[in-house]
Amino acid sequence: MKLLITGGCGFIGSAVIRFAIRRSDHEIVNVDKLTYAATPEALEETADDPRHAFEHGDICETDRLLAIFNHHRPDAVMHLAAETHVDRSIDGPAEFVRTNVFGTFSLLQAARAYFDGLGAAERSWFRFLHVSTDEVFGSLGFDDPPFADGTPYRPNSPYSASKAAADHFVAAWGHTFGLPVITSNCSNNYGAWQFPEKLIPLMILNARLGKPLPVYGRGENIRDWLHVDDHAAALLSIIERGRIGERYLVGGEAEHSNIEVVRWICEAMDQGFPQAAPHARLIRWVDDRPGHDLRYAIDASKLKAELGWSPAHSFRSGLAETIDWYLAHESWWRGIGSRIYDGRRLGLTQRLAS
């Protein structure tokens, strides 16, 4: 297939492109606006590959998208472009509405116009995979069953509300206009090239620099951690063999609280840099994020049963690999710290709790 991937220079998008180029014969058309979180360096290994074409573009610009569709003639779309950081959505929700809601609408309109112009054989192959989040389902209690295919929507943050709206637009374009859509909802990703504002890279880098490790509330919030390479494998399986009109949930089978994750990072840093141990002394309890969801968990049994996917990484081995990667790529994250993001708290004025 020739895949048009939006947000291909982002954390998950670049992992999908690397995976596809390494493991398949697919051609990739990478459409990216190159916002603050884009990392073109993550695609250096594919830069000279003739199967990878880059198009600088904004998904909110329908005419630009139509030109890209008509020039490259893709067989499928994988929609990953999005604003994703909850704290940033608290500070500035308008950009999340623009990108995640209107941008998805604009992409759907362009895909619909392109699809309607295809011949019968091409239409039978075409599909539109919308990549979403488990956060659209809201928060679970400690004893609640995991999110499943029929879990109702209950978004609690501006970010998750914008993604929920996008999910509904995708479903509507499938139902009303016959666009062959599929939706996936994933749990928290981690791995190489993740922008340092997210929990795991922020804790690794702060620990390396001897800076405070800010943990929201008491660190009891639980996430189902999914290695980004496992997510990439799942997305390729879904777009190749997933059923039109279906939803697939992707999780890492690795529920751990934030404070567990932070303490494991501290233990690894103690082993690597014993002269700075104990790194756990850097942990600071900070005011919780407004509306912070308690727990996310994924039931990925449908994906396993239908497509034979399962996560290849255990969380502890994946975390160790991720820590090693960040320590080996210091020039990259130091450059981000000096130019883009210096680790400051977003979403709420920081006040250390007593």
- The residue ranges of every structural domain in the chain are 2-193+226-253+293-312
Per-residue pLDDT tens over the stretch 264-323: 999 999 999 999 999 999 999 999 999 999 999 999 999 999 999 999 999 999 999 999
Is 167 within 8 Å of 128 (Cβ atoms)? no
Task: Give me the chain's average pLDDT, please.
Answer: 96
Neighbours of 199 (CB within 10 A): 21
DSSP letter, residue 233:
H
What pLDDT is recorded for position 350?
A: 42
Burial 175-186 (b: 16+ CB within 10 A, else e): eeeebbbbbbbb
**Distance (Å) of CA 277 to CA 57, 272, 280:** 46, 9, 8
> What element of type H or E holds 284?
strand 283-286
pLDDT band at 229 (very low <50, low <70, confident <90, very high): very high
User: CA angle at residue 238 from 65 to 62, to 5 degrees?
Assistant: 10
Catalytic residues: 134-135, 159
Is 0.75 topped by the overall pTM?
A: yes
Going by CATH, does the domain composed of 2-193+226-253+293-312 fall within 3.40.50.720? yes
